[in-house]
Chain A
């Protein structure tokens, strides 16, 4: 019996491998627990980098180091709101799916992808400003190393999230999910919220603290 991704739902829908609701709920519970553990492990990964950053930052008297202004606060705030907004649109996408409004679901999901891409491009703009105008490089300073590593790790998660959401889009188009069985969609929403929330901490650490 296949249990990966949305295969179960698809097979259920096609009627090849009929699965009882009780069995599906049991497997769904296992998947959800596994996915939550994955998110917790990702939290630990970010925590390790954040503590390393805080340790390094405490070794320097002036932060950011002389000659580097640091990231642009106003632009960072706008970019943050864009990412948080994408979390809200993703939440609405999931709710639309639950309520059977497919048209609205695709609109919210499309808006989520758009905002996620906007955030990534904004990060690219931020990087170019730091690199070319302020000459902050990965190897040149502790500030550059910590900023590019942590925000780069987060940006990679956003990039993966965009791919994930695109796959979910294609899966829904292909009829993988039903109104009752849509775990992949729930997991994608949780992942996207997680990516948002990690940025809450990074924004505080690099732009506010």
Chain B
């Protein structure tokens, strides 16, 4: 994999990862006062989505995952 490709992937992941993470947090906050079944399921799924963003950002920054591979 070329350095340019890796840099582009890292930049896009960081940029969009932060946006999606913040979106998930804000939407969870907006849903927090609602207590219907679909609202509770949505809250849980949004929180896990934020966790996924942390994973992706952490992997991109080198905190998570094995970077010795491809």
Number of A-B contacts (CB under 8 A): 121
Interface size class of B (residues with CB under 8 A): 35 or more
Among A145-153, A154-162, A170-178, A200-208, the stretch in contact with B:
A200-208
A85 & B16 in contact (Cβ 8 Å cutoff) = yes
Q: A36-B37, A73-B59, A208-B59 are in contact. Are A203 and B52 (CB under 8 A)?
A: yes
Interfacial chain B residues near A70, Cβ < 8 Å: 66, 69-70
Rounded to whole angstroms, the CA-CA distance of A194 and B65 in the bound complex is 24
A190 & B42 in contact (Cβ 8 Å cutoff) = yes
A186: nearest residue on chain B (CB-CB)? Answer: B38
B38 & A190 in contact (Cβ 8 Å cutoff) = yes
Among A14-22, A44-52, A74-82, the stretch in contact with B:
A74-82
B65 & A200 in contact (Cβ 8 Å cutoff) = no
Interfacial chain A residues near B23, Cβ < 8 Å: 88, 91
Tell me, yes or no, whether A129 is within 8 Å of chain B by CB: yes
Rounded to whole angstroms, the CA-CA distance of A77 and B23 in the bound complex is 18
A82 & B49 in contact (Cβ 8 Å cutoff) = no
Rounded to whole angstroms, the CA-CA distance of A196 and B59 in the bound complex is 17
Most buried by A among B6, B12, B13, B55: B55
Q: How many residues of A contact B (CB 8 A)?
A: 38
B52 & A84 in contact (Cβ 8 Å cutoff) = yes
Interfacial chain B residues near A71, Cβ < 8 Å: 69-70
A81 & B41 in contact (Cβ 8 Å cutoff) = no
Rounded to whole angstroms, the CA-CA distance of A189 and B23 in the bound complex is 16
A74 & B27 in contact (Cβ 8 Å cutoff) = no
A203 & B37 in contact (Cβ 8 Å cutoff) = no
Rounded to whole angstroms, the CA-CA distance of A32 and B46 in the bound complex is 18
Rounded to whole angstroms, the CA-CA distance of A74 and B17 in the bound complex is 12
B38 & A77 in contact (Cβ 8 Å cutoff) = no
B23: nearest residue on chain A (CB-CB)? Answer: A88
Q: Mark B1-31, 1 if CB is under 8 A from A, else 0.
A: 1000010011011001101100110010000
B interface residues, Cβ below 8 angstroms from A = 1, 6, 9-10, 12-13, 16-17, 19-20, 23-24, 27, 37-38, 41-42, 45-46, 48-49, 51-53, 55-60, 64-67, 69-70
Report, nearest first, the 5 A-B pairs whose CB atoms are least far apart. A200-B52, A193-B45, A77-B56, A69-B69, A208-B65
A interface residues, Cβ below 8 angstroms from B = 29, 32-33, 36, 39, 69-78, 80-82, 84-85, 87-88, 91, 129, 134, 186, 189-190, 193-194, 196-197, 199-200, 203-204, 207-208
